[in-house]
C-alpha cells in the first residue's frame, strides 16, 4: 500500500490496463460503514443497478467498464466491482484472475468478508446492522444480501480454481502471485494477518498449489461417506490459529458469564443465568482490576472492573451467609472503591444499572444491608444515595423487592435525603456574580450535611427531622418512590 498526498492507494492490472485504486480506506463504504448515509445508499443503488443489468444479459466487462469509468478507481467503487465479479464471474474468467492476483485487494476483501460474517451473525441484513432503513429500501437490500459475494471472500475462490478451474488459468495465476510475493517479500511469520498484503500474497500462492491439500473421507449428517480436500496450513500458522481460536473461545465464555451476572444485577425481574460460583470466579479473576483513570461514564461491556463490581453485588444478593462471611470484607472494599472512583456522576438518571459502576455498587450495598442488617452497611447505603442520587434512582426502581425489605425507619431517611440530594444549584442568570452562586451552592451543601446528621441522630433514637409525615398504613413496593 502506497501513500501519496495522504491518499493510501495501490495499482492493479485490470481488464488489460494498470488502474490505480485510490482511497483504499473507503473499501467498506458499500456496506454502510461510511460517514454519509446518503453515500452508502448511492453505492447500494449502483451495485443493485449493475446486478440488474447482468441479470438481464449484459456482459460483465461492459457493466464493470461503466461502473469504474476512466482514471483512478475509488476504493468504495472497487468493492462494488469485487461484488459483481464474485457474484457473476466464471472460474476461468480473466477478470476474476486479475482480482485474485492483487494481494492488496485480497487483504481488503478478507477484512470485508469477516465483517459481513459478523453482520450476518448479528441477525440483520448485511451492511444494514448499524443503520435502520425505510421500508422502500428493503427490496434492494434483500436482493444484495442474497448475492454470492455476501458469503464469500476473494481468497475463498482459489481452492475452487485449483480443483475445478482450467490448469492453464491456474498456472497464469500462480505466476502472477509469485511475482507479488517477490515484490512484497515472502511471509515467514507464524502469525496469520488477513489484512496484510504481504501475508495474503504468500497465502494465496500456497492456496493455488494442489500439493498443499490433502484428500479426506468423512461422514456427512446422514451417515454417508464423503470425500473432499482440506487445505493444510504451515505448522506454525496452524498452531497460531488453534491457539487464537482457543483464546477467543475462553474470552467469549468469560464474557458470557460476566454478562449474565451483570444482567441479573440490572433488574430483579430478569432471569438469573449465573451462579454464585460464577460470580466468585469473576472476583478471583479480576482481583487486579481497578477503575479507569479517565472520567468517561460509558464503560466497555467487557470491562473487567465493571465485571468485578457486578460480581460483588451478585454475591451480596444471592450468596449464602457463609459466602457473605468469607467475602464481606472484599465486596465492601469493591463497592467503596467504585463509589470513590473519579468517574463523572450522571447528571440525569438513566434506565439501567449494569453499565454504571456506581449503580452496581449501590445495588450491592442495598443487598448487603438487607442480608446483614448491619447498621454500618445501612449507613453506607444512605451516604451513597446522598452522594450519587442519579445512580441510585434506577437501583431503587429496578430492585423494589429488596428496597421493601429495608428497615422502614432507615428507608424513610434514605428517601428523604435522596430527594434533598437531587436539588442542584443553578445560576440565576448569565450575569449572576460567581460569589453569589458559590454562596448558594455552599448553603445547599451545608443543608444537606445537616439533614444527613439529623437523620443519623433519628436512627439512633433522636428526634425525627422536620419533614412532612410519612404516609400511614401499609406500604407496597410502589409506595417506595
In a domain, 240, yes or no: no
Can you give the pLDDT at residue 428?
Answer: 64
- Per-position b or e across 455-476, b if 16+ CB within 10 A of its CB: beebbeeeeebebeeeeeeeee
Quote the domain boundaries for residue 170: 2-128+139-232
Select from 382, 338, 376, 389 the least CA-distant residue to 360.
338
**Residue ending a domain, choose from 232, 265, 284:** 232
pLDDT bin (cut points 50, 70, 90) of residue 335 is very high
Judge whether residue 125 has pLDDT over 50.
no
> Helices (H), strands (E): how many in the chain?
19, 6
- Inside any domain, residue 245: no
The whole-number average pLDDT for the span 261-283 is 93
Q: What is the pLDDT of residue 121?
A: 58
Average pLDDT over residues 317-326: 94
Chosen domain end from 204, 232, 260? 232
210-228 mean pLDDT? 88
Residue 213 lies in a domain: yes
> Judging by beta carbons within 10 Å of its beta carbon (0-12, 13-18, 19+), is residue 70 exposed, middle or buried?
exposed
For the chain, give the percent of residues with pLDDT over 70: 87
The answer to whether position 277 is within a domain reads yes
Average pLDDT over residues 189-197: 95
* Pair (119, 93) in one structural domain: yes
Q: Is pLDDT at 104 greater than 90 in this prediction?
A: yes
Give the distance between the most distant pair of CA atoms in the chain.
98
Residues 181, 292, single domain; the answer is no
Give residue 184's pLDDT: 96
Residue 109 pLDDT class (50, 70, 90 cuts): very high
Does 218 lie in the same domain as 328?
no
Query: Given a cut of 50, is residue 191 above it in pLDDT?
Result: yes
Instruction: Judge if 358 and 405 occupy the same domain.
Output: yes
Q: Of 14, 48, 15, 42, which is closest to residue 26 (Cα–Cα)?
A: 42
Residues 222 and 255 reside in one and the same domain: no
Distances (CA, A) of 89 to 145, 153, 229: 18, 14, 23
One domain for residues 181 and 34: yes
- β partners of residue 11: 20
Asked if 210 and 271 sit in the same domain, the reply is no
Asked if residue 3 lies in contact with residue 53, where contact means CB atoms within 8 angstroms, the answer is no
Beta-carbon count within 10 A of 34 CB: 18
Identify whether residues 256 and 311 lie together within a single domain: yes
Q: Domain for residue 134, yes or no?
A: no
The grid coordinates listed for 461 are: 433514637
Q: Which of 182, 199, 232 is the last residue of a domain?
A: 232
Same domain flag for 192 and 287 = no
In this structure, is residue 412 part of a structural domain?
A: yes
Q: Which residue has the higher pLDDT, 186 or 140?
A: 186
The model's confidence at residue 290, banded by pLDDT at 50, 70 and 90, is confident
Q: In this predicted structure, what is the pLDDT of residue 142?
A: 84
pLDDT of residue 344: 52
Most confidently modeled range among 128-137, 176-185, 425-434: 176-185
Q: Do 269 and 417 fall within a single domain?
A: yes
Task: Work out how many domains the chain is built from and give that number.
Answer: 2
Please determine, for residue 310, whether its predicted confidence score (pLDDT) is greater than 90: yes
Same structural domain, 206 and 332: no
Mean pLDDT of 178-194: 96
Question: Does residue 336 share a domain with residue 198?
Answer: no
Residue 42 inside a domain? The answer is yes
pLDDT for 36 beyond 90: no
Q: Is 298 exposed, middle or buried (0-12, 13-18, 19+ CB in 10 A)?
A: exposed
Higher per-residue pLDDT: 445 or 337: 337
Q: Is the pLDDT of residue 352 over 90?
A: no
Nearest by Cα to 188 from 202, 207, 205? 202
* Mean pLDDT of the region 206-230: 89
* pLDDT > 50? residue 128: no
pLDDT per residue as tens digits for the range 38-85: 888 899 899 999 999 999 999 999 999 999 999 999 999 999 999 999
Residue 237 lies in a domain: no
Return the pLDDT at 480.
Answer: 40
Q: Model pTM?
A: 0.63
Amino acid at each position: 500500500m502506497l501513500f501519496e498526498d495522504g491518499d493510501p492507494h495501490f495499482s492493479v492490472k485490470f481488464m488489460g490496463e494498470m488502474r490505480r485504486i485510490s482511497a483504499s480506506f473507503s473499501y467498506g463504504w458499500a456496506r454502510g460503514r461510511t460517514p454519509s448515509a446518503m453515500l452508502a445508499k448511492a453505492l447500494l443503488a449502483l451495485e443493485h443497478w449493475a446486478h440488474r443489468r447482468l441479470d438481464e444479459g449484459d456482459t460483465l466487462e461492459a457493466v464493470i467498464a461503466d461502473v469504474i469509468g476512466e482514471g483512478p478507481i475509488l476504493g468504495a467503487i472497487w468493492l462494488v466491482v469485487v461484488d459483481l465479479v464474485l457474484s457473476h464471474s466464471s472460474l476461468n474468467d480473466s477478470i476474476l484472475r486479475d482480482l485474485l492476483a492483487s494481494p492488496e485487494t485480497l487483504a481488503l476483501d478478507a477484512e470485508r468478508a469477516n465483517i459481513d460474517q459478523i453482520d450476518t451473525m448479528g441477525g440483520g441484513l448485511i451492511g444494514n446492522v448499524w443503520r435502520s432503513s425505510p421500508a422502500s429500501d428493503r427490496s434492494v437490500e434483500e436482493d444484495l444480501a442474497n448475492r454470492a459475494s455476501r458469503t464469500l471472500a476473494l481468497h475463498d475462490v482459489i481452492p475452487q480454481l485449483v480443483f475445478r478451474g482450467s490448469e492453464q488459468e491456474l498456472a497464469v495465476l500462480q505466476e502472477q502471485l509469485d511475482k507479488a510475493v517477490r515484490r512484497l517479500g515472502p511471509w515467514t511469520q507464524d502469525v496469520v494477518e488477513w489484512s496484510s498484503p504481504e501475508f495474503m500474497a504468500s497465502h494465496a500462492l500456497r492456496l493455488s498449489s494442489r500439493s498443499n491439500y490433502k484428500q479426506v473421507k468423512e461422514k456427512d449428517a446422514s451417515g454417508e461417506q464423503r470425500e473432499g480436500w482440506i487445505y493444510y496450513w504451515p505448522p506454525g500458522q496452524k498452531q497460531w490459529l488453534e491457539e487464537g481460536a482457543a483464546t477467543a473461545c475462553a474470552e467469549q465464555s468469560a464474557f458470557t458469564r460476566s454478562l449474565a451476572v451483570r444482567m441479573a444485577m440490572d433488574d430483579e425481574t430478569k432471569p438469573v443465568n449465573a451462579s454464585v460460583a460464577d460470580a466468585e470466579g469473576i472476583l478471583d479473576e479480576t482481583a487486579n482490576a481497578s477503575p479507569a483513570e479517565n472520567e468517561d461514564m460509558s464503560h466497555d461491556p467487557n470491562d473487567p472492573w465493571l465485571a468485578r463490581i457486578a460480581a460483588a453485588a451478585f454475591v451480596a444478593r444471592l450468596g449464602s451467609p457463609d459466602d457473605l462471611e468469607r467475602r464481606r470484607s472484599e465486596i465492601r472494599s469493591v463497592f467503596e472503591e467504585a463509589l470513590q472512583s473519579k468517574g463523572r456522576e450522571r447528571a440525569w438518571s438513566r434506565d439501567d444499572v449494569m453499565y454504571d459502576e456506581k449503580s452496581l455498587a449501590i445495588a450491592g450495598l442495598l443487598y448487603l444491608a438487607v442480608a446483614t442488617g448491619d447498621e454500618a452497611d445501612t449507613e453506607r447505603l444512605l451516604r451513597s444515595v446522598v452522594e450519587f442520587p442519579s445512580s441510585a434512582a434506577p437501583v431503587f426502581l429496578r430492585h423494589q423487592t429488596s428496597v421493601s425489605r429495608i428497615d422502614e425507619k432507615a428507608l424513610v431517611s434514605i428517601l428523604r435525603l435522596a430527594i434533598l440530594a437531587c436539588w442542584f444549584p443553578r445560576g440565576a442568570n448569565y450575569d449572576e456574580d460567581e460569589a453569589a452562586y458559590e454562596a448558594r451552592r455552599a448553603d445547599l451543601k451545608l443543608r444537606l450535611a445537616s439533614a444527613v446528621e439529623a437523620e443519623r441522630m433519628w436512627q439512633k433514637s433522636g428526634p425525627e427531622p422536620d419533614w412532612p409525615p410519612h404516609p400511614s398504613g401499609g406500604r407496597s413496593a410502589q409506595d417506595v418512590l
